[in-house]
Amino acid sequence: MQQLQDLRVSRIITLTSPRALKEKLPVTDHIADTVCRARREVEDILSGKDSRLLVIVGPCSIHDMKAARDYAMKLVSLRKELEDQFCIIMRVYFEKPRTTIGWKGFINDPHLNDTYDIEHGLYHARKLLIELNSLGLPTGTEFLDPISPQYVADLISWAAIGARTIESQTHRQMASGLSMPVGFKNSTDGRLQVAIDAIRSAMHQHSFLGIDQEGHSSVITTKGNPFGHLVLRGGSDSPNYDAESIVMAETQLEKADLPKYLLVDCSHANSGKKFENQIKVWDDILAQKEAGNKSIVGVMIESNICSGNQPFPVDPCDLRYGVSITDECVSWHETEKMLRDGADFMGRVRAKA
């Protein structure tokens, strides 16, 4: 008989089950409190109960565990210092979408050498999330693969569905069952309606194929996620963080009978992928808040220890410490100044209100 399956598959490796990994790297009461408290804070901000600004800030992607820990130690202190004005969550992205090919992120290729040691990637991704939440620093990430949330989602306080997967039924279904608020980015060409459709879809219950905690194929039935929200990241033609674009987004949300709350991504198409432009976007958002805008409840900032990015792939030994290997990031020095100045500014704005 002719071979009918796996004609183009070179190997299949069985992974540790989600439950087994969680037994190796368990959640403590302190960690659970960090996660749950941050989720409630984000929910209150999205519901208009908390007037602080949600700030998702951190590296474009995690590729160096030591650098990620060093960055986190800086950020956790700033989170505490500025907590009256901002709810700060560290951006901890382990999966990277690709238009064609390229490095797919730490979980997929943790050694940066095309060995695809996913078992290692999952273990150390979870380990880092454990360490960050142990510091009292909540984390946010993009879920790109529908399997990986079973391994790490219990440690995530805010999640994103990216611009390249926003139209995917699989990701909308997955979002409907996630335990944290989920931001849906507009498409890469700038369309908002696909993200709005995704928000509405994720609000409803779904049944679909997935895996359980033992790693067995299962039918997953969800309850629906009431905390889906729009993230504006610009499009191929133009950015969409300006006041006119914000009004257009508010109008579309209102037409869809959704709350007029959204986040603005200071990076990606809104910055033209130039790190210094993130500061311009941030300043514009603050000016809109001063002018009375109520719909912008959060921002995303791509930030690292050092500014810019560096070419990749290269020999991992040749990489500069604390510099992104994906999109350009603002430096820690710039991040600190942005957030401190922004907190002072927001304090004055809220005092006038």
Domains of the chain in start order, with CATH, are 18-347 (3.20.20.70)
pLDDT at 281: 98
Query: Above 80 in pLDDT, residue 100?
Result: no
Residue 8 in tokens: 């183009």
CA distance readout (Å), 211 to 122, 127, 216, 237: 16, 21, 5, 39
pLDDT at 186: 98
Per-residue buried b or exposed e for 137-146, using 16+ beta carbons within 10 Å of the residue's own CB: bbbbbbbbbb
CA distance readout (Å), 176 to 30, 63, 88, 198, 272: 27, 29, 24, 10, 31
pTM of the model: 0.97
Query: Above 90 in pLDDT, residue 97?
Result: no
Query: Above 80 in pLDDT, residue 128?
Result: yes
Q: What is the mean pLDDT of residues 136-140?
A: 98
312 confidence band (pLDDT: 50, 70, 90): very high
251 C-beta neighbours (distance < 10 Å), count: 12
For 27-65, the pLDDT digits (tens) are 999 999 999 999 999 999 999 999 999 999 999 999 999
For 233-275, the pLDDT digits (tens) are 999 889 999 999 999 999 999 999 999 999 999 999 999 999 9
pLDDT at 1: 78
Do the beta carbons of residue 303 and residue 332 sit within 8 Å? Answer: yes
Read off the DSSP letter of residue 329: B
**What is the torsion angle, in degrees rounded to the nearest 10, for the CA atoms of residue 280, residue 281, residue 285 and residue 287?**
20
166 confidence band (pLDDT: 50, 70, 90): very high
Task: For residue 16, give the 3-state DSSP assignment.
Answer: coil
pLDDT at 350: 82
353 confidence band (pLDDT: 50, 70, 90): confident
